[in-house]
Amino acid sequence: MLDPKIIRDEPEKIKEMLKDRAVEFDLEKMLELNKVRKDMMQQTDELKQKRNQMSMKIATEKKAGNDASELLQEMSQISSKLDDMENQRKTIDDDYHKLSFSIPNMIHDSVPKGPDESFNKQVRTWGDVPKFDFEVKDHIDLGLGLDIVDLERASKTAGARFYYLKGGLVKLGQALTAFALDFVSKRDYNLIQPPYMINRQSMEGAVIADDFEEVIYKVQDEDLFLIGTSEHAIASMHYDEILEGGKIPLRYASISPCFRKEAGAHGKDQKGIFRVHQFEKIEQFIFCRPEESWDEHEKMIKNTEEFYQELEIPYRLMLLSSGDMGKVSAKTYDIEAWMSGQNAYREIVSCSNCLDYQSRRLKIRFREKSNEDTKYIHTLNSTLVAIERTMVAILENNQTKDGHVEIPKVLQKYFGDNLI
RNA sequence: GCGGGGAUCGCCUAGCCCGGUAUGGCGUGGGAUUGCUAAUCCCAUGUUCGCAAGAACUCGGGGGUUCAAGUCCCUCUCCCCGCGCCA
């Protein structure tokens, strides 16, 4: 949700944002509804004032023992008229609310403008792309060869884009998780494990309506949805709260499985464990003051880069263009890891500053002192490690000529060996 | 799952039986008094719209009864106690 001040005072900026994002949105309708809504509000307010005054009059007359039947009759008329008007207003209000919940976030000035990913900007690269003197395999062939993944049986029991991990790959996932938890604990984050299902209200606070159907699984006959990422559960954790200044910034490192429909990804990455309906992830999520959020954003992406440096995974850091960014984000960095089997950099991290966009939806405010006005807090989120995708990078980059996989040095003590 | 008790403007709390402008405290800010600190006293302190005056809204969510609902009725959610079931 956007600041109503922007909607009122600077609609041309919103128009520009919609164009930069290449998003269809009926802004005119929203502005018109807002106007009508405000007019009606004023009218109903006046009527309500009349009703309140009248109600008081009736109370005093009755207390004095006087006959109030004439007043009662008048009051009855006012009430029914007010009912009618309120019903009309509610319809308009609902429409406005829907639009205000689906309009995307404003875009930061540093974001490159362009309709798609070809306008993303490479910020820097790290590490050397590994060279092999044999024919490299992708993670699927490696995994099947070592018998550490079973995709066929998964498609039988669950469908496409599911997987059974086996033996060494299970251990590698556990090692990565243990290493990541240690890494993040040393850096001033609070570990947290959220509910894997949350209700509609919470989900709508964190996810924009257009993405909802494409991404989110619903639990039948319950007001529950499987989280697409722990971001959804952490953002809504402080729903309708006023946080104390002394306690922020709040930095959470959340561990959870993630469930995604991948409805818009037909044919993309059809095989393997790169794009799947279920995966494990450790996520960084920060609530902070508005003036801190751009610093926190930079710190968070640096933090994440250091994680991949310790794992010795070559990557490039990308600044996403206005058209490629998620709709709730004002600025997003992606880390794309080198994956030898695909001979390409592929996305493994997404790091976003959402400003006050999520907190307005979720009514999350803060104040330094208890008699101060409340302000909306800023929210930021970043992958620390998406376990399955990171395993793809490790398998493909660390493969040996005879089809084995070397375990990165920092993981060896967690894995208990140096080779799969 | 069953029975009982609860949810009030940051926190605690009165009001509900018996319908008629939401009580008090804590915390916080400002002021008074004081050599300083402490203590005491006074004022302010929910949300929205508004430059302001002001007005509206607000008692877990939704619906109903009524001229009028924190208060009465229905329903849902969550919390506490007891019973049942259970990894």
- Tell me the percentage of chain A whose pLDDT exceeds 70: 100
CATH class of the domain at A117-415: alpha beta
pLDDT value at residue A254 = 94
Segment A332-382, tens digit of pLDDT: 999 999 999 999 999 999 999 999 898 888 888 888 776 677 888 899 999
Segment A120-156, tens digit of pLDDT: 999 999 999 999 989 899 999 999 999 999 999 999 8
ipTM: 0.81
Strand B contact nucleotides, protein CB < 7 Å: 10, 20-21, 27-29, 44-45, 47-50, 55-57, 67-68
HEC string for chain A: CCCHHHHHHCHHHHHHHHHHHCCCCCHHHHHHHHHHHHHHHHHHHHHHHHHHHHHHHHHHHHHCCCCCHHHHHHHHHHHHHHHHHHHHHHHHHHHHHHHHHHCCCCCCCCCCCCCCHHHCEEEEEECCCCCCCCCCCCHHHHHHHCCCEECHHHHHHCCCCCCEECHHHHHHHHHHHHHHHHHHHCCCCEEECCCCEECHHHHHHHCCHHHHHHHCEECCCCCCEECCCHHHHHHHHHCCCEEEHHHCCEEEEEEEEEECCCCCCCCCCCCCCCCCCEEEEEEEEEEECHHHHHHHHHHHHHHHHHHHHHCCCCEEEEECCCCCCCCCCCEEEEEEEEEHHHCEEEEEEEEEECCCHHHHHHCCEEECCCCCCCEECEEEEEEEEEHHHHHHHHHHHCECCCCCEECCHHHHHHHCCCEC
CATH class of the domain at A26-102: mainly alpha
pLDDT mean over A229-256: 87
Q: Which residues are in reach of strand B, CB within 7 A?
A: A 4, 8, 38, 45-46, 48-49, 51-56, 58-59, 62-63, 72, 75-76, 78-79, 242, 369-374
pLDDT at A398 over 90: yes
Domain with CATH 1.10.287.40 in chain A: 26-102
pLDDT value at residue A64 = 74
* Through-space separation of residue A222 CA and nucleotide B77 C1' in angstroms: 13
pLDDT at A35 over 90: no
pLDDT value at residue A149 = 93
pLDDT value at residue A185 = 92
Segment A92-109, tens digit of pLDDT: 888 888 888 888 999 999
pLDDT value at residue A54 = 84
Segment A42-60, tens digit of pLDDT: 888 888 888 888 888 888 8
* Through-space separation of residue A201 CA and nucleotide B66 C1' in angstroms: 32
* Through-space separation of residue A272 CA and nucleotide B23 C1' in angstroms: 65
pLDDT at A12 over 80: yes
Segment A70-99, tens digit of pLDDT: 778 888 888 888 888 888 888 888 888 888
Domain with CATH 3.30.930.10 in chain A: 117-415
pLDDT at A392 over 90: yes
